[in-house]
Amino acid sequence: MEENNIQKNEKIGGKSIASFVLGLVGIIAWILPLIGYPVTITGLILGCTARKNEKNAFSLTGIILSSITLGITLINSIMGIIIALSLYY
């Protein structure tokens, strides 16, 4: 009986792994906000839904990485707008 409980707790779902991978991809994707936003938002959504069901470290790490890279992507977008406006005016 204990083996079944241990195996169930160690099971890692696809959403958790996908959230973790998208969080890692977001580290590079923030450079281009058109790619960064969908990657990080998808990572956040998958991480949050996986966290409700699975409660493992992959989903939490994916949420954290996606949140950080979403913030960096937002900063990158704002800086791009400021630079573009300063060159135009």
User: For residues 44 and 66, is the Cβ–Cβ distance under 8 A?
Assistant: yes
Helix, strand, coil: what percent of the chain each, to 5? 90, 0, 10
Q: Which pLDDT tens digit goes with each residue over 31-81?
A: 998 999 999 999 999 999 988 887 788 889 999 999 999 999 999 999 999
Q: How far apart are CA 24 and CA 4, in angstroms?
A: 31
Quote the pTM value: 0.79
Going by the DSSP 8-state scheme, the letter that residue 56 receives in this structure is -
Is a pLDDT exceeding 70 seen at residue 7? Answer: no
